[in-house]
Structure 1
């Protein structure tokens, strides 16, 4: 690992924080701690940014690197990355700029479109804007999704099926963020594609999200709580759509400037894959999709992937 052997390295796994995804983050962090220990790292500590002495402990802990397992605000938006850069601690995953771009669904859509990645038609609203429901519906249609521009794990998202429900959904989304997206519901198969690597990247086996009878979309409850079978690998889509989705996921990874890992969500429509969003810090829990994708490769194992993310972080810092 760069200048320090694994057995001598001190690694901080950052998990928890104060976002709405705190519990998920702690579960991810616990899995990462176990994986890094299995990979041979001598000292691995779970460090919670919500603790009173967090910055002091991080600055004085002589950590060789930090593995970021924080989801949502404070973790995926570039804030914790900025602090780690100020403290001079190498960290896993995307840098400040890429994290902020990916976390902002409005900005990321602009970057996707610029890179030639198909996106769903939509409208962006800012707090204080005059909301013309008829004008919005003319763009997105009656069936649409309303979502905060910056959030994760489906918090604040509403699936709207009737015109009269649009305004309440927008008002609800504004309780999570000052910018809201309204996007057309694209009909098709929902999939997610992990991307892994440093200077060169590879797309992982594609996950197909199975529709649950009591869930209108892949919401937080289904992602992390439902005991039912919620996805399958590999996705049952055509070979052409499979190859196209993997190529688009790698293109999205590069368009946003991601590093190490990412996971992009798509709907495979009749015209091919349409991107929804990219997560720069995918979940690492027992039921998370990214670790399951790793398990379905024939050349990667989760502990070594976690270890390589740390080593890539150190190498990037040294460069």
Structure 2
């Protein structure tokens, strides 16, 4: 089987995507598949035509990969691919839209405000909810905590917004919830399962870009330091979030367990897929080794009717 691994790409998460792609290529070699590396650029359609793959493994993160654009191109070309389709990908990459869907469906998520900045791709500033610090300021359509700031005092807001504007003109201002940060992997196609949850414990106290990608900066606990009933509630909520957005194949659902209960933060449709990334860690805890996980994702992609 010829598997085109789409990696690299044009987003700010290019370096992370290359690591994911290389890990997938190593797994494909172990599985006996022909893995073909494609560093995604503007000539992707031509590159795919030259390769003629049986299936594409999307190892891209962020814009032009995780947002439904590449998925749409693959559907036009008639090439099966791994992971979620166009609609779920586009919805999940937009944190504001995701939270609006959660709220409409009655799923718990922290209160938030939306800022649209004039002169940046049109629109005017709008605020949906009045918030007081502390809160988290994030670009709506960016991953890996890029452009994110923690705001403890109102006078810090302007600098946080300026940083977020470097990445997006739509900005999410979300109430900061004190508690345990939990991530739950979900895998499957017609029948989905929630993998063992992971508790994220950054040594700095905040899970930002440095905490995510600096070796030794964060501890990951399986199982989390929570009652078993709460752990099962986390898994159930992850399944609900995955289904609500229409995800397929895999997702990683981030949430916080605070004094008021469990609240959803966001859903990643293409989480990091190196052997030490969170979703593979969780799969391994469930008895699924990395090559088997990659094989399942490919099989589900081939079976999916787009």
Output the CA distance in 1 between the equivalents of 2:113 and 2:268.
Answer: 21
1:147 aligns with 138
Q: Is the 8 A contact 1:224 1:287 kept in 2?
A: no
Summarize deviations over 1:283-309 as a string: whole Å, max 9, x none: 0124311111111113x2221111111
Matching residue of 2:48: 58
Q: Which moved more, 1:163-172 or 1:187-196?
A: 163-172
Deviations 1:261-316 (A, max 9, x none): 00010110112210000000010124311111111113x22211111111111111
Aligned residues: 301
Cα distance, 1:225 vs structure 2: 2.1
Show structure 1 runs of 4+ deviating over 4 A. Answer: none
Q: How does 1:1-319 map to 2 (within 5 A)?
A: 9-41=1-33, 43-50=34-41, 53-128=43-118, 129-130=124-125, 139-213=130-204, 216-298=205-287, 300-317=288-305
Question: What's the TM-score once normalised by structure 2's chain length?
Answer: 0.94
Give the secondary-structure state (helix, strand or coil) at the position aligned to 2:202: coil
Q: Distance in 1 between matches of 2:126 and 2:9?
A: 34
How far off its partner does 1:170 sit?
1.3
Matched position secondary structure for 1:210: strand
> Take 1:211 and 1:227, find their aligned partners in 2: how far apart are those partners?
9
Give the alignment's TM-score, normalised by structure 1.
0.90
Query: What secondary structure is seen at the aligned counterpart in 1 of 2:256?
Result: strand
CA distance, structure 1, for counterparts of residue 162 and residue 214 of structure 2: 27
Deviation at 1:212, TM superposition (A): 1.2
Q: Is the 8 A contact 1:118 1:275 kept in 2?
A: yes
Query: Do the aligned partners of 1:195 and 1:263 also contact (CA within 8 Å) in 2?
Result: yes
Alpha-carbon displacement from aligned partner over 1:170-211 (angstroms, at most 9, x marks no partner) = 122122112101010011100100000000100001110113
Equivalent-residue separation in structure 1 for 2:125 and 2:67 (angstroms): 27
Shift of 1:55: 2.3
Q: CA deviation at 1:10?
A: 0.5
Encode CA deviations 1:205-253: one digit per residue, 9 max, x unaligned: 111011313xx52122221223345211111112221111100100000
Shift of 1:57: 1.7
Report the Cα distance in structure 2 between the residues aligned to 1:183 and 1:57, rounded to whole angstroms.
Answer: 41
Query: Cα–Cα, structure 1 residues 287 and 124, in superposed 2: closer, same or farther, change >3 Å?
Result: same
2:144–2:209 contact (8 Å) kept in structure 1: yes
Q: Secondary structure at the match of 1:311?
A: helix
Gaps of 5+ in 1: 1-8
